[in-house]
Amino acid sequence: MNYLYSPWREGYHGSKQEGCVFCDIAKHPEHDAENRVLYRNEFCFAVMNLYPYMPGHFMLIPHIHTDSLEALPPEVWQNICLLTQRGVKMLKEFWNAAGVNIGMNLGVCGGAGIAEHIHMHLIPRFRGDTNFITTIGDSRVYGVKFDKVYEKLLTRSLDYFEGRL
């Protein structure tokens, strides 16, 4: 058996914080930079995925703590959908993604890593980016520094999420 070590993922496999990580981010806008929040409004916020599938992978998360999409107030769901459209536009135009995967994993059996608080994933895709290593090696190759990606997306996120571009 061969082993491929990815020590930068240690936090993902370690102990989890008390309470809901997404609620903590929602309640503390003063920590947006350290939490890598790209945008927030009265309904939800956009935050970089700390364990991204691809550079530029972020999530849209309602401020309301729920694991039930069907219980989400319509105005919150509509805002998430609107920001999903605008986020896709940002990833295609500004991040130069050739495509984008969007989706929600609802519940543990649906594949959600944080099942107690629903969230929408936006994952930019590029020609030739598919790789066996995620499936076979349970690791990801991330060729760009995480903070550089956040800083670049942050420079234009307000314009895109506010619908100015």
pLDDT for 57-72, tens place per residue? 999 999 999 999 999 9
Q: What is the mean pLDDT of residues 35-42?
A: 98
pLDDT of residue 2: 55
Q: Tell me how long the chain is.
A: 165
Per the prediction, the chain carries an average pLDDT of 88
Q: Which secondary-structure segment (H or E) carries 11? A: helix 10-13
User: Per mean pLDDT, which range of 11-20, 52-61, 134-143, 144-153 is the poorest?
Assistant: 134-143
Q: List Cβ<8 Å contacts ≥24 apart for 56-59.
A: 56/91, 56/95, 56/97, 56/123, 56/124, 56/149, 56/153, 57/121, 57/122, 57/123, 57/124, 58/87, 58/121, 58/122, 58/153, 59/119, 59/120, 59/121, 59/122
* pLDDT tens digits, one per residue of 105-120: 999 999 998 999 999 9
Domains and CATH numbers, the chain: 35-161 (3.30.428.10)
Mean pLDDT for 78-85 is 98
Instruction: Single out the catalytic residue among 57, 117, 119, 121.
Output: 119
Give me 41's structure tokens.
Answer: 């409004």
Q: How confident is the model at residue 51 (pLDDT cuts 50, 70, 90)?
A: confident
Is 121 labeled as catalytic in the residue annotation? no
Mean pLDDT of 128-133: 65
pLDDT tens digit sequence for 154-163: 999 999 999 9
Alpha helices (runs of H) in 58-113, residue ranges in sequence order: 74-93
Q: Average of pLDDT values for 23-51?
A: 97
Q: How confident is the model at residue 128 (pLDDT cuts 50, 70, 90)?
A: confident
The larger pLDDT score, comparing residue 126 to residue 83, is at 83
Give the whole-number percent of the chain exceeding pLDDT 70: 81
